[in-house]
Structure formats: structure tokens, C-alpha cells
Amino acid sequence: DIEIKVEDYQTKESGLFVEPDFFELFPYHFLEGNGALSQDGIILSEDFSRQLFGNENPLGKIIALVDGEADHLYTVEGVVDISKVKSHLNAPFWAAHVEKEISPHWLFVDTYNYIKVQEGTTPAMIQSAVDKLIEINLFPNMGTKTPFEEWLQRDDAFRLLVQPLADIHLGETLRFDLAEGGNATMVYILLLVAVGILFIAAVNFINLSTARAVKRGKEVGIKKVIGSSRLQLALQFLSESVMICLMAMILALGLSELIILLVERWVGVGVLASVFNNPTELLLAIGLSVLLGILSGLYPALVLSSFRPIQVLKSNLTGQSQSSFRNSLVVVQFTISTILVVGTIIVFQQIQFAQSKDVGFDRENILVVDNANLLDNNIVPFKEALKSQPGVANVSRMHREPGSTNAFSIQSIWSSYVNEPVTSNRFEGDFDYAETMGFKLVAGRYFDASVASDSSAVLLNEAAAKALLLEKPIGEVLNKKYNVIGVVSDFNFETLRKPITPSIIKFSPSGPKLVIRLNARSTDKIIPFIEAQWKQYAVAEPLAYHFVDENFNNLMEQERVMGEVLALFAGLAIFIACLGLYGLSAYLAIQRTKEIGIRKVLGASSESVLHLLSQQYIKLLLLSFLIAAPASVYSMRTWLSEFAYRIDITWWMVTVPCLGIMLIALCTVSYHTLKSSRINPAETLRSE
């Protein structure tokens, strides 16, 4: 964020610094101005313009962007409407960048380049040209003897990657992305689960339609006797199926409008347009509903239209011929439901593992003041005032903290024992930084303010010491200038999808943030004190802070959302499957009424009848579990393989869901099975 001042008003926002032709490449809708951007011009979003100037026309107004102690003055040259634009380039403001402030170093990663190519140009062609630039401008300074093409394939090689604009949101997540994108895996999972839910619902329709075939048999027989053809009957039953699906679509679209805010949070999109305002999407929904109606109604229509009049009119139709097909569909239903439940449990177990995993330092009770740079010269007395409090264990200035999406910069390091430089992640803070963060010392010592040479000293993590081939790293000199004074245990600073890589910790006295280690039992009491001290030393800007453990929780946000989605749809799948099973069991129980009566006359007990009626469902459920268990384990192992640190799938994660689903399913059919087992034979056989 950068501090912004307009007369007496000031705030902080994160905007973009762009070249003058930016709006020629990205044609936003301008409410004021025409997109021309001068050397000291700035363009505002409509909302940010209202925040700064109310309803006044902002054109020509002066805005100051504060960089350290200097104010850069910009003139407002336009206002754009971004309310209907979904883009990672949306921002409160776009200011012309100052050329001299852009670092000429090729490892400077705060600049993004967008290239408009000629038709027929492929990403591979652009990537090849960019790689050539790396070979000419950066590779000679890397100090490596490895051939360029071989070096380029290494994990620690520095590359500028080309990515089509359309692939940025759901494509591969790249280091230093301008904005957090979506999750293609989540989209595919949502699509797959939606198809699974539709399939389960369609199975219910097919099962109940074929089970009720006996009741509609006489209708079919009479219509055939008076001249209806099989095609006419099939079209009748198909039209009924399509009408049901269209009615369901109308209800679904209405419900989707009510829960759209929840869906937005899940899929990570700020604004979802109503399907009623999009004719294409509305036609697509109607078309899919008609298709679903045809597919789900096709088999029942063929079955019903195939009845012979003489057979159905003599009441010789039993409906048993379709029982095998119905049973197969029930198995598929509960297979899908079981896979969803098992997947949900494993996702939440991985999330719990990530939240409780030892990340190599004590991440609890670490508070980060994000806007400590506003203290200016008061940062030292502010820091000392906090240190004097019993509830504060330590305070340090720093540049970055682990777990943040911008938690690192990179630096090449080398020792006398390696032929190739090692790419490391660099963390910088003052003399108290390593201790305040709680990095675990395994050799040597921390920084010491009383040792003058420590200003050029570094700490390594174990991965860095190993990569540099340092058996006894203490006292070694890196890059001919950094003295190694200590080694800390490996620590995670990114998502658990990535393995721990070499890191160095350097001294820097001027970090823009403060990190505060709080005593565990005094967190609630000390924060009001910090806020009071902030008001005493800082400007009117409120204290901006967060806890480091929140960083790591945010890194698992996509997985948490995925777990919630799976949990909701798993519950929905079980509900729909059991709803169909309830209706099917009711109808089948009626069909077997006379059979049960005869069995009881011949001496069968209610318990034996109950066992007879239940065992057919138990067999189907067991078969579905046998299919779902390996399928769910395989699919979730594939998902877990994306994590460098992950749980092991244990037996209970599969068996407990299976037992739970079986219990729910048996409870669903228990009403009709109990009712049938207790029936009086005299009532059922009276008409015989």
C-alpha cells in the first residue's frame, strides 16, 4: 500500500504504476477523460474518486503519493468504471510511473510486461525470445559453468515466464503474480460434483419411473388398444420428463439468485451476473434441462412403451425385469456419495494438518504492524516502549515475514565448496529479527547488536547449508562478504504444496514493518496498549496489523473452501440418494406385500422378514463401498500429491464414512421394512 494525500485527507491504497499507453492496450470504460496519461497523470476508479472528492469532478485535481519522505504530485486525468470488469488489473488508481525509479537489475520482479502480438504468434515463440534476453542480460552474471539450456531447466533458475492473458486467472500460479488468481482445480471439482448430483437426481427419476411401471401399465395397454403407437407413447413419457426438468430449472434459477453471494465467495469472483440478464446463459440452461429430461426419461419411456396390451390388461406385469438395472443405478448413486464424503474428510484432515504442522518456528502470538513506516523517526521510541511491557517478549523491524504471499525476495549465494551459485530466499530484519520470529537455532548464534561485524553476517537454514555443502557452516564466508554466524532449522514460508528451499536471514536496520512477539497469556491485554502507543507516536492513520498465523491460514484458504464445497455437496448427494431410496423402498415393499403375507403364514417371524427386506439394500451398499473405496483413495492420493507435506490416508477415513452412509441408508428404508415385517397376513391375503 502507498500513502495518498488530498489536502487534509489521507489514506492508503494499493494501486498500479503504468506506462502512458496502458489504456490503449486495456480499454477501460472512461466516465471522465479519454485514457491519455501524461508523465505526472493519474487515473482513478469511480469508487476511489468518490472516496477522495465526493461527487465533484476530479479532473485537474492534485493527488500526492507519499514515497518515504518525498511527495510525488499527480494530476487526475480520468475516471473509469470497473464495476463490470473482472480483471487482475483492476485497482483504485493507475499512476504514470517514473522511469528512473524502475530498477535496471534483471532480478527486480516488481514490473510486469504485457505484449500485444500479431496474429499467429504463439506463447512458445514469445517465451523463446524472452529466454534469449535472459541468456544475454542475466545468465552471464549468475556465475555458473552450466550450459544455459541446462541451467534454464533447473528448479532454482530465474525465468521470466510468458502466460496468455486468458490463462492468468485459472492458469498456473506463478511466483510474484500481480494478483491472486482463481483455482482451476476448484472449477473442475465443482463441475464434476454438479454433474454427479444431476446424475444422482436423474437416477432417482429413472428408478421411480420404472418401479411405477406396473401402475401405468394399464394406461399403456388401453392407449395401445385404441391405436397409440410405441413412438407416440415414448414421446408422451419423454415430454413428461422434460417438463419436470424445466420446472426444476425454474426453481433452481430462482434459488441460485438467493445464494449467489455464497457462490461468489466460494469461486472467488467479486461479481456474478444474473443468468436472467444473460440470454446466452439462459438458453444454455434451458437446453441442458431439455437434454437432462431426455436422457433421464429415455429408458423409462422405452420400458413403458414396450408393454404388450394383453399382458398388462391381464395384470400379469410384475416390474421385476427392470430390478437389476435399478439396483445398478442405486449402486452408482451411493458410490458417488461415498467418494464425496471420503474426499471431504481427507480435505479437512489435510487442512487440520497444515494448521497444526510445525513450520520450523513458533508462529503463534506474532503480531505484525504493517504500516510501521508511518512512525518515521518515532519508530525507535515506539519499539522501546513496547519492549518495556511485560506482555511483549520481543520487537523487531523487518521487511517480510513467512507465510505472506509477498514473503520473500531471492538472492544467489555461493561458497568455496560449490561450483554453482545457489538461489536462496532472503529474509531481512534488524538484530532482534531471528529471535522475535522464533527461528530455532541448531548451530552458532543469533545476531548481536554489540558485535559490529554482525551487520554483514547471515543466518542460514539447514537447506541452505546443505545446498552449499557446508559441513561446518559457522565461520564460513558466502559471496566473499557474508559471514555465517548461525544455522536455524528449516522453516516453511510458503504453502505446504512447496518443499522447503534454501533461505538466508540478513541484517537490515530499516524494515518498513514491525514484528512483535507477544506472551501467550497477554494477547488480549497488550493490543490495546499497542494501539494507545501508536496514537501517541503516529499520525492519524489507524494501526494496521495482523498475526503471522493468519498468513498460514490464508495459504490454505482454497483448500478450506474446497472442503466446504465438498461437504455441502456430499450432504446433498446423500440426501438425494436416500430420498430416492426411500421412495423406491416404499414401492418395492408394496410389491412384496403378498409375498410377505405368505411367508408369515408359513411361519416366518417378523425378524426374518425384516432381515429379508434389508439384506437387498445391504448388498447394494456394500457393493457401492467396494467400488468407492479404491476410487476415492486413488483420487485423493492424486490430490494430496500436489503437497510437499501431506497426511497419509488411513483406514478410518474410508471405513467411517462407509459405515455412516450405511447407517443413514438403512434408517431411510427402515420405516417401510419395519412396517412390512409387522403386517398382518390376514389383511394382505384377504383378497386371494
- Please report, for residues 29, 231, 232, the alpha-carbon distance to residue 227 in angstroms, rounded to integers and kept in the order given: 65, 12, 10
- 273 pLDDT higher than 80: no
- 295 pLDDT higher than 50: yes
- 682 pLDDT higher than 70: no
Residue 60 near residue 32 (C-beta atoms within 8 A): no
Lowest mean pLDDT among 105-109, 327-331, 340-344: 105-109
In the chain, what percentage of residues exceed pLDDT 70? 85
Rounded to an integer, the average pLDDT of 325-340 is 87
Burial, 226: exposed, middle or buried (Cβ in 10 Å; 0-12, 13-18, 19+)? exposed
What does 520-561 look like in DSSP terms, one character per residue?
GGGHHHHHHHHHHHHHHHS-SSPP-EEEHHHHHHHHTHHHHH
Between CA 477 and CA 679 the distance in angstroms is 90
Residue 10 near residue 69 (C-beta atoms within 8 A): no
Residue 559: phi and psi, rounded to 5, are -70, -40
Residue 595's closest CA among 685, 672, 670?
685
3-state secondary structure of 75: strand
Between CA 255 and CA 262 the distance in angstroms is 12
User: For 79-97, what is each residue's pLDDT tens digit?
Assistant: 998 877 778 888 889 998 7
- 302 pLDDT higher than 80: no
- 61 pLDDT higher than 80: yes
Residue 363 near residue 549 (C-beta atoms within 8 A): yes
3-state secondary structure of 33: coil
Between CA 683 and CA 675 the distance in angstroms is 13
pLDDT band at 526 (very low <50, low <70, confident <90, very high): confident
User: Sign of torsion, CA 470 474 477 479?
Assistant: positive
- 516 pLDDT higher than 90: yes
**What angle, rounded to 10 degrees, do the helices at 279-305 and 230-258 form?**
140
Question: Which pLDDT does position 98 carry in this prediction?
Answer: 64
What does 456-504 look like in DSSP terms, one character per residue?
GEEEEEHHHHHHTT-SS-TT-EETTTEEEEEEE-----S-TTS----EE
Grid cell locating 632: 476415492
Render the burial of 262-273: b for 16+ CB within 10 Å, e for the rest: eeeeeebeeeee
- 220 pLDDT higher than 90: no
Residue 156 near residue 413 (C-beta atoms within 8 A): no
- Element at 79 (helix H, strand E): strand 70-81
Residue 201's closest CA among 588, 572, 565?
572
User: For 19-39, what is each residue's pLDDT tens digit?
Assistant: 888 888 888 888 888 888 888
**Beta strand 62-67 pairing with 477-478:** unpaired
Residue 32: phi and psi, rounded to 5, are -135, 140
Question: Which pLDDT does position 436 carry in this prediction?
Answer: 92
- 688 pLDDT higher than 60: no
Residue 257: count other Cβ atoms within 10 Å of its Cβ: 11
Between CA 73 and CA 675 the distance in angstroms is 83
- 458 pLDDT higher than 90: yes
Question: Which pLDDT does position 483 carry in this prediction?
Answer: 94
Question: Which pLDDT does position 464 carry in this prediction?
Answer: 94
Contacts 24+ apart (CB under 8 A), 122-131: 123/162, 123/163, 123/164, 126/162, 127/161, 127/162, 130/160, 130/162, 131/159
Between CA 63 and CA 43 the distance in angstroms is 11
pLDDT band at 367 (very low <50, low <70, confident <90, very high): very high
3-state secondary structure of 65: strand
- 138 pLDDT higher than 70: yes
Question: Which pLDDT does position 271 carry in this prediction?
Answer: 47
Rounded to an integer, the average pLDDT of 214-241 is 74
Query: What's the predicted TM-score (pTM) here?
Result: 0.75
- 628 pLDDT higher than 90: yes
User: For 462-489, what is each residue's pLDDT tens digit?
Assistant: 999 999 999 999 999 998 889 999 999 9
- 683 pLDDT higher than 70: no
- 289 pLDDT higher than 70: yes
pLDDT band at 326 (very low <50, low <70, confident <90, very high): confident
User: For 532-576, what is each residue's pLDDT tens digit?
Assistant: 889 888 766 788 888 888 888 887 877 888 888 888 888 888 888
**Domain extents in the chain:** 2-101, 124-167, 366-553
Question: Which pLDDT does position 213 carry in this prediction?
Answer: 60
- 435 pLDDT higher than 70: yes
pLDDT band at 341 (very low <50, low <70, confident <90, very high): very high
pLDDT band at 405 (very low <50, low <70, confident <90, very high): low
Residue with C-alpha cell 411401471?
A: 213
Between CA 258 and CA 254 the distance in angstroms is 7
Question: Which pLDDT does position 407 carry in this prediction?
Answer: 47
Between CA 24 and CA 40 the distance in angstroms is 18
Residue 520 near residue 454 (C-beta atoms within 8 A): no
Between CA 428 and CA 439 the distance in angstroms is 13
User: For 566-609, what is each residue's pLDDT tens digit?
Assistant: 888 888 888 888 888 887 787 777 677 777 777 777 777 777 77
Question: Which pLDDT does position 308 carry in this prediction?
Answer: 66
Question: Which pLDDT does position 470 carry in this prediction?
Answer: 92
How high does pLDDT run on average in the chain?
Answer: 82
- 6 pLDDT higher than 80: yes
- 365 pLDDT higher than 80: yes
In the chain, what percentage of residues exceed pLDDT 90? 20
